[in-house]
Amino acid sequence: MSNVKLAVIFYSMGGTNYQLSKWAEEGAKEAGAEVKVLKVQELAPESVIQGNEVWKATVEATKDVPVVTSEDIEWADAIIFSVPTRFGNMPSQMKQFLDTQGGLWASGKTINKVVSAMTSAQNPHGGQEATILSLYTSMMHWGAIIAAPGYTDPVLFGAGGNPYGTSVTVGQDGKMIEDVQAAVKHQAKRTVTVAEWVKKANQ
């Protein structure tokens, strides 16, 4: 039984990254971790959200998911981020959350958190790798330990083979093109395993 505490933190406009987060939760729980699934605060104007049926439906579907706080970061041994790509970068909602963690960072409370990331885009080369790497750049400043999936399991090839983190292409119909469920679960289990090693070494 793992004693790892994992925070799965997502931003989702169309529901894809919420689904990825739920799969990550399943995988981490199978590995014995204690898991919190959390969303970042929505920053977009209500008028814009209300004009988009898919976005509105996602807001409704995730209304009971708690908004992440600094206390959740402090609580977690490991963090999995799941975000869509925005012009090859993380969405402003996630960036805003990370940018407000200066107090935690300054007090050394982000050091040795084990982190991993996932993403989605409408095209196979729509910025997935760059988005994950942009998130990992911030994590290097945090002193976090990045647990990328690499090619640690054959299941990753079937999901598109992104070594930085699971990524998925979402068609115009809003459905995922690649089958990434198994890859997400593997990535979550790997993140929990690495966090176990780090915790053990620090005891």
Per cent of the chain over pLDDT 70 is 99
- Residue at 74: amino acid letter: E
pTM over cut 0.85:
yes
Inter-axis angle of helices 181-202 and 16-30, nearest 10: 50
**pLDDT, average across residues 150-168:** 95
Sorted by where each starts, the structural domains of the chain and their CATH numbers stand as 5-202 (3.40.50.360)
Q: Which pLDDT band holds residue 203 (cuts at 50, 70, 90)? A: confident
What's the half-sphere exposure (Cβ side, CA atoms, 13 Å) at 116?
Answer: 34
Q: Does the pLDDT of residue 130 top 70, yes or no? A: yes
Q: Note whether 6 and 192 are within 8 A (CB).
A: yes
**pLDDT, average across residues 114-119:** 98
Over residues 60-95, the pLDDT tens digits come to 999 999 999 999 999 999 999 999 999 999 999 999
Q: Does the pLDDT of residue 2 top 80, yes or no? A: no
